[in-house]
Amino acid sequence: MCGIVGAVQKNTKAMPVLLSGLRALEYRGYDSAGVAVIENGKIECVKSVGKVAELEKKLKKRELNGAVGIAHTRWATHGVPSEANAHPHLSHNNEVAVVHNGIIENHEKLRTRLESEGYKFVSDTDTEVIAHLVHHYLNLSKQKDLFEAVEKAVHELKGAYAIAVISGSAPDRIVAARFGSPLVVGFGNEKMFVASDVSALIDETNQFTYLEDGDVAEIFADSCVIRNASGKRVDRPMITSEISAADMSLHGFQHYMQKEMYDQPQAIKSTIEQAMKKGEIDVRAFGAKALSVFRKISSIQIIACGTSYHAGLAARYWIEPLADLPCNVDVASEYRYREPRFRKGTLYVFISQSGETADTLACLNMVKRESPNSHTLAICNVPESSLTRGTDLAFLTRAGKEIGVASTKAFTTQLVAFLLLTVVLGRIRRTLPKEIDKKIMKGLLTLPEKVEEALELDSTLHRLAPKFTEKEHCLFLGRGIEYPIALEGALKLKEISYIHAEGYQAGELKHGPLALVDENMPVIAVAPNDALAGKLQSNLKEVRARNGKLFIFASPETKIVKDEGTEVILIPEVDELLAPIVAVVPLQLFAYHVAVQRGKDVDKPRNLAKSVTVE
Ligand code: G6P
pLDDT tens for 85-133 read 999 999 988 999 999 999 999 999 999 999 999 999 999 999 999 999 9
Residue 437 has pLDDT above 90, yes or no: yes
pLDDT at 532: 65
Q: What is the CATH number of the domain that holds 125?
A: 3.60.20.10
What distance in Å separates the CA atoms of residue 430 and residue 7, rounded to the nearest whole number? 55
Q: Are residues 217 and 295 in the same domain?
A: no
Q: Name the average pLDDT for the chain.
A: 93
Q: Is the pLDDT of residue 191 over 70?
A: yes
User: What pLDDT score does 206 carry?
Assistant: 92
What separation in Å is there between the alpha carbon of 401 and the centre of ligand 1?
13
Q: How far apart are CA 495 and CA 35, in angstroms?
A: 29
pLDDT band with cut points at 50, 70 and 90 for residue 580: very high
Query: DSSP letters of 371-386?
Result: -TT-EEEEEES-TTSH
Whole-model pTM: value is 0.86
Q: pLDDT tens-digit profile of 282-321?
A: 999 999 999 999 999 999 999 999 999 999 999 999 999 9
Per cent of the chain over pLDDT 90 is: 80
pLDDT value of residue 531: 66
CB of 386 sitting under 6 A from ligand 1:
no
Of 427, 454, 481, the position where a domain reaches its end is 454
**Is residue 270 a contact partner of residue 453, using CB atoms and an 8 Å limit?**
no
Pair 77, 93 in one domain? yes
Statement to judge: residues 328 and 416 lie in one domain: yes
CA-nearest residue, atom 1 of ligand 1: 610
Examine residue 605 and state whether it is found in any structural domain, yes or no: no
Q: How far is the CA of 512 from the centre of ligand 1 (A)?
A: 29
Q: State the DSSP code for 14.
A: S
Provide the pLDDT confidence category of residue 79 given band limits of 50, 70 and 90: confident
* 64 and 129 assigned to the same domain: yes
CB within 8 A of 394, min separation 6: which ones?
Answer: 286, 287, 377, 378, 379, 380, 387, 388
Confidence of residue 510 (pLDDT cuts 50, 70, 90): confident
Atom of ligand 1 nearest to the CA of 357: 15
Asked whether residue 506 is assigned to any structural domain, the reply reads yes
List all residues 6 or more positions away from 562 whose beta carbon is below 8 Å from its beta carbon.
568
Mean pLDDT of 170-197: 95
Given 247, 263, 291, which residue is the final one in a domain? 247
Same domain, 98 and 135: yes
**pLDDT digit string (tens) for 355-381?**
999 999 999 999 999 999 999 999 999
Could you give phi then psi for residue 59, rounded to 5 degrees?
-70, -15
| φ/ψ (deg, to 5) at 130 | -65, -45
464/524 Cα distance (integer angstroms): 12
How buried is residue 484: exposed, middle or buried, by Cβ count under 10 Å (0-12/13-18/19+)? buried
Residue 443 lies in a domain: yes
Active site residue 2: yes
Test site for ligand 1: of 2, 196, 305, most ligand atoms within 8 A of the Cβ: 305
Residue 385 Cβ inside 6 Å of ligand 1? The answer reads: no
State which of 199, 215, 247 marks the end of a domain. Answer: 247
Strand 3-8 vs strand 68-74: parallel, antiparallel, or unpaired? antiparallel
Residue 515: count of CB within 10 angstroms of its CB? 10
Residue in 26, 75, 381, 407 to alter for ligand 1 test, most ligand atoms within 8 A of Cβ: 407
Structural domain includes residue 606: no
User: What's the pLDDT score for residue 44?
Assistant: 96
- Whether residue 114 is found in the same domain as residue 222: yes
Question: Looking at the structure, do residues 293 and 399 belong to the same domain, yes or no?
Answer: yes
For a mutational test of ligand 1's pocket, the pick from 303, 336, 388, 610, i.e. the residue with the most ligand atoms closer than 8 A to its C-beta, is: 610
Does residue 243 register a pLDDT over 90? no
How long is the chain? 615
Region 35-57 average pLDDT? 95
Helix (H) or strand (E) holding 474: strand 473-478
Report the alpha-carbon distance of residue 615 to residue 609 in Å, rounded. 13
352 CB within 6 A, ligand 1: yes
Q: Could you tell me the maximum CA-CA distance found in the chain, to the nearest angstrom? A: 82
Nearest Cα to Cα of residue 349 among 430, 273, 422:
422
What per-residue confidence (pLDDT) applies to 248?
Answer: 81
State if residue 305 touches ligand 1 by the CB under 6 angstroms criterion: yes
For residue 613, being part of any structural domain is answered with no
Domain that holds residue 533: 458-597
Pairwise pLDDT comparison (531 vs 599), residue with the higher score: 599
The conformational region for residue 85 under phi > 0 = left, psi -120 to 50 = alpha, else beta, is: alpha
Residues 281 and 407 occupy one common structural domain? yes
Ranking 139-148, 157-166, 305-314 by mean pLDDT, the lowest is 139-148
- The response to whether residue 308 sits with its C-beta less than 6 Å from ligand 1 reads yes
Helices H, strands E: what count in the chain?
18, 27
Q: How far apart are CA 414 and CA 48, in angstroms?
A: 37
Q: CA distances (Å), 102 to each of 4, 76, 204, 460, 571, in order?
A: 11, 10, 25, 43, 42
In a domain? residue 610 = no
Would you say the CB of residue 612 lies under 6 angstroms from ligand 1?
A: yes
Give helix 482-497 / helix 579-597 axis angle, nearest 10°: 20
610 is catalytic: yes
Say whether both 44 and 163 belong to one domain. yes
Q: Are residues 353 and 438 in the same domain?
A: yes
Element (H, E) at 524: strand 523-527
Q: Please give the sequence-ordered ranges of beta strands (E in DSSP) within 9-59, or none if there are none.
A: 32-39, 42-49
On whether both 582 and 444 belong to a single domain, the answer is no
Overall domain count for the chain: 3
Amino acid at the residue 335: Y
186, 217, 562, 568 from 97: Cα distances, Å: 20, 16, 63, 58
The arithmetic mean of pLDDT across residues 50-54, rounded, is: 92
HEC-encoded secondary structure of 337-369: CCCCCCCCCEEEEEEECCCCCHHHHHHHHHHHH
Atom of ligand 1 nearest to the CA of 304: 15
Integer Cα distance of 432 and 438 in angstroms:
10
Residue 521 in domain:
yes
Q: How far is the CA of 306 from the centre of ligand 1 (A)?
A: 5
**Alpha carbons 19 and 342: distance in angstroms, whole number:** 46
Confirm or reject: Cβ of 588 under 6 Å from ligand 1: no
If asked whether residues 81 and 218 sit together in one domain, one would say yes
Whole-number Å distance, alpha carbon 22 to ligand 1 midpoint, is 20
What is the distance in A from the centroid of ligand 1 to the CA of 361?
13
How remote is the CA of residue 100 from the centroid of ligand 1, in Å?
Answer: 20
- What is the distance between the alpha carbons of residues 219 and 150, in angstroms, rounded to a whole number? 13
Ligand 1 centre distance from Cα of residue 610 (Å): 6
Residue 566 lies in a domain: yes
Q: Ligand 1: which residue has its CA nearest to atom 5? A: 306
Q: What is the CATH number of the domain that holds 434?
A: 3.40.50.10490
> Distance between CA 589 and CA 258 in Å, rounded?
8
